[in-house]
């Protein structure tokens, strides 16, 4: 899979404008000159970038393209570049007898990017859901600055589970306007979810990962929420063993004026988060070396335990009836906001599973509505196996419609309905 950037080109070493009208002064970009996708002579600009995509797919056998920040592409054409790109890529895939995917990154919460062209969409195969990240991150860290101010309740994570987007035309305090449209009808396979990625970590003041912000127990809880949802999970490099090295923004520019502009720009960018301190110098070589992943950690201490935990979760996602199909139509949630406990029920024709998660830092005793029958525990993040003192959740539960359970802090359990 290749990450492609069709919303801007870097400010240094950018000579594309010498060869044609690839840029426009009609729009402003956060990253330099805006690309000309809808002005005079833009047809050949669109052709250039479309052929760039096909070149990667055809000559280098790339299987999928991740399109960076498509919300930074301004295109007022009735047939926009992204729609034409998707059509060309999918036509090539059919002719080549291959499966090729286009995955969009956008913070617009707009399902039109992944709707078919016949329905007025762009025809992308999937897109990232920042809302899922924000809802999960705020529950665990309590952060409420910047775009995190729109999140922080259990109901936000519930909606991310059941629909994909949290903001689907509601008022956003951060944006001070309505935001997004409904994703109720969008299949689960069209959303990619995550607890961390290069943007969400790299765009923090110190590039700190979640492993340095929350407890070991909370990290396991995060893993369960990302892997056991019906969507496509994405893991950030080293997340599967709890990597602690930061991922900081680093550069190696040669233009002194540009280096100074980047330094000042990074400081201004963090103002609305109200984080204390100055960001690491992007041009300092030490910033780069601090950000390198230490692969040896995965074989030592609690990092090794975490890696085994992810392997167990991935195996459950693949094999457990009820969790194996990416189907959000066969999913129900029940959240207890005050207790910060979430019940997730998923099922298929082959079986049924229930995930019970406690996001509180305190133990909770709760009465939960669980379908009648016998339920067997197949995983518990608080088990001694995963470096814990032991779970308070029994290995089996018989439900007559409700079940009383005592839950350890920041933990979750997975139950499978037993067939009698």
Interhelix angle 301-319/216-227, rounded to 10 degrees, is 20
Q: What's the DSSP call for residue 118?
A: G
Whether 18 is catalytic is: no
Q: Which residue has the tokens 């229930």?
A: 354
**324 closest CA partner among 230, 192, 221:** 230
Beta bridge partners of 364: 407
Q: What is the dihedral of CA 157, 160, 162, 168, to 10 degrees?
A: 120
Can you read off the two tokens belonging to residue 404?
């009383």
Q: Which of 68, 155, 332, 388 is catalytic?
A: 68
Residue 377 carries which DSSP code?
Answer: E
Cα(64)–Cα(101) distance, rounded to whole angstroms? 5
Q: Which residue out of 38, 75, 105, 243 is catalytically annotated? A: 105
Active site residue 105: yes
Residue entry with tokens 């996602």: 317
| Phi, psi of 356, deg, nearest 5 | -120, 120
* Distance from the Cα of residue 38 to its chain's centroid: 30
- What is the dihedral sign for C-alpha 364, 368, 373, 377? negative
Q: How far apart are CA 27 and CA 112, in angstroms?
A: 22
For residues 297 and 243, give the distance between their C-alpha atoms in angstroms, rounded to a whole number: 7
Q: CA-to-CA distance for 138 and 146, rounded, in angstroms? A: 11
Coil, strand or helix at 259: helix
Structure tokens at 381: 């993040």
Q: Annotated active-site positions, please?
A: 68, 105
């Amino acid at each position: 899979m290749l990450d492609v950037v069709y919303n801007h080109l870097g400010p240094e070493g950018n000579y594309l404008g010498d060869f044609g009208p690839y840029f426009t002064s009609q729009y402003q970009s956060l990253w330099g000159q805006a690309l000309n996708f809808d002005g005079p002579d833009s047809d050949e600009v669109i052709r250039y970038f479309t052929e760039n995509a096909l070149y990667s797919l055809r000559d280098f056998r790339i299987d999928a393209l991740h399109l960076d920040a498509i919300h930074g592409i301004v295109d007022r054409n009735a047939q926009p570049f992204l729609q034409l790109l998707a059509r060309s890529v999918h036509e090539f895939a059919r002719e080549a007898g291959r499966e090729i995917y286009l995955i969009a990154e956008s913070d617009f919460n707009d399902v039109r990017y992944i709707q078919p062209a016949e329905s007025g969409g762009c025809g992308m195969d999937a897109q990232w859901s920042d809302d899922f990240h924000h809802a999960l991150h705020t529950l665990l860290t309590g952060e409420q600055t910047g775009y995190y101010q729109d999140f922080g309740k259990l109901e936000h994570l519930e909606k991310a589970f059941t629909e994909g987007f949290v903001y689907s035309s509601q008022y956003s305090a951060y944006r001070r306007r309505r935001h997004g449209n409904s994703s109720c009808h969008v299949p689960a396979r069209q959303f990619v979810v995550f607890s961390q990625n290069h943007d969400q970590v790299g765009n923090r003041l110190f590039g700190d990962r979640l492993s340095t912000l929350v407890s070991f127990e909370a990290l396991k809880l995060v893993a369960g929420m990302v892997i056991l949802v019906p969507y496509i999970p994405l893991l950030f490099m080293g997340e599967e063993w709890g990597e602690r090295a930061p991922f900081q923004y680093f550069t190696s520019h040669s233009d002194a004026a540009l280096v100074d502009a980047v330094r000042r720009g990074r400081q201004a960018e963090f103002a609305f988060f109200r984080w204390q301190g100055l960001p690491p110098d992007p041009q300092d070589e030490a910033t780069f070396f601090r950000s390198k992943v230490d692969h040896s950690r995965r074989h030592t201490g609690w990092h090794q335990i975490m890696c085994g935990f992810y392997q167990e979760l991935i195996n459950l996602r693949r094999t457990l009836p009820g969790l194996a199909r990416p189907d959000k139509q066969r999913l129900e949630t029940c959240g207890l906001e005050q207790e910060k406990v979430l019940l997730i029920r998923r099922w298929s024709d082959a079986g049924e599973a229930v995930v019970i998660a406690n996001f509180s830092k305190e133990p909770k005793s709760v009465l939960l509505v669980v379908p009648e029958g016998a339920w067997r525990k197949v995983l518990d993040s608080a088990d001694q196996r995963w470096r814990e003192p032991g779970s308070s959740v029994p290995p089996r539960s018989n439900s007559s419609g409700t079940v009383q359970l005592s839950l350890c802090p920041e933990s979750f359990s997975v139950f499978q309905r037993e067939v009698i």
